[in-house]
Amino acid sequence: MDLQALRLSFTLAALTTVVLLVVGLPLASWLATSRWRWKPVIEAVVALPLVLPPTVLGFYLLVAMGPRSPVGQAWIATFGRPLAFSFEGLLVASILYSLPFAVQPFAASLSSVDRRLVEASHTLGVSRLGTFFRVTLPLALPGIVAGAVLTFAHALGEFGVVLMVGGNIAGETRTLSIAIFDSVEQLDYATAGRTALFLLTVSFLVLVVTYALRRRPVAG
């Protein structure tokens, strides 16, 4: 098994999960409480990666990151190297592609917290942010952990978008799923099989953990 690809995949998945916890929780919190009339549009945008072929998302990301786009040019001007076909570009793509896998379970578990408890906290003088950390977050934690685990697993196995945006550069953008593809192309079925079995096992364990968390009743 390609250990370099393994390390790369884990780093990518871990960073994706961390970023989505930081970015996804406020977004999910907003989705869970907002009554804005255009909210369905935002919800649809968040859910798009679920239905869109990875190649479509990958294509647009590639164009957006390319050296001729404003984003690509700004990146080159700042960091001195292109965003497309780099690990950073891959991370951006992975975050966007995994967005619904994080935000949807986050929002579901946040909105399952009884509104009365939030209101009780407010009448006791605790600010909105304080209430989020002292009431909403602890009560929604099982769902948030489940969402984070799911995001990690999803990012670990991502293939289509990675191929479009990252290509296949060893140590930079070659992830496990790309390595499997590589092995098969070289007719090295033994290596492909080992890597595939590894990903299958990890994904299965992750799902077991996720469902176990979902079943756990809230302590009370």
Partner 1 sequence: MTVRLVLDVQRTFAGGSSIHVRLDEPLVPGEVLVLFGPSGAGKSTVLRAVAGLDRPDGGAIRFDGETWFDAAAGVHVPPQRRRVGFLFQDLALFPHLSVEGNVGFGLGHLVREDRRDRVGETARMLRVEELLGRRTGTLSGGERQRVALARALAPRPRLLLLDEPLSALDAPLRESLRGELGALLRRLGIPSIVVTHDRTEALALGSRIAVLAGGAVRQVGRVEEVFGAPVDLEVARVVGTENVIPVRVVSREEGLVIVEAGPARLVSVDPGGLPGEAFACIRAEEVVLEGAPAGATSARNHLRGKVIRLVNEGPLVRVTLDCGFPLVALVTRSGARDLGLAPGREVSALVKAPAVRLVPRG
For the bound state, the minimum distance from the C-beta of residue 111 to partner 1, rounded and expressed in Å, comes to: 17
Encode 104-140: b = buried (16+ Cβ within 10 Å), e = exposed: bbbbbbbbebeeeebeebeeeebeeeebbeebbbebb
SS3 content of the chain, % helix, strand, coil (to 5): 80, 0, 20
For the bound state, the minimum distance from the C-beta of residue 127 to partner 1, rounded and expressed in Å, comes to: 6
Tell me which residues in 181-220 interact with partner 1 (CB under 8 A): 218-220
Q: In the set 3, 77, 124, 190, which binds partner 1 (CB under 8 A)?
A: 124
For the bound state, the minimum distance from the C-beta of residue 160 to partner 1, rounded and expressed in Å, comes to: 40
For tokens 């077991």, the residue is: 208
Stretch that binds partner 1, among 59-67, 73-81, 114-122, 160-168 (CB under 8 A): 114-122
Q: In the set 63, 76, 117, 205, which binds partner 1 (CB under 8 A)?
A: 117
Phi, psi (rounded to 5 degrees) for 171: 80, -10
Per CB under 8 A, residues contacting partner 1 are 114, 116-117, 119-127, 130, 134-135, 138-139, 218-220
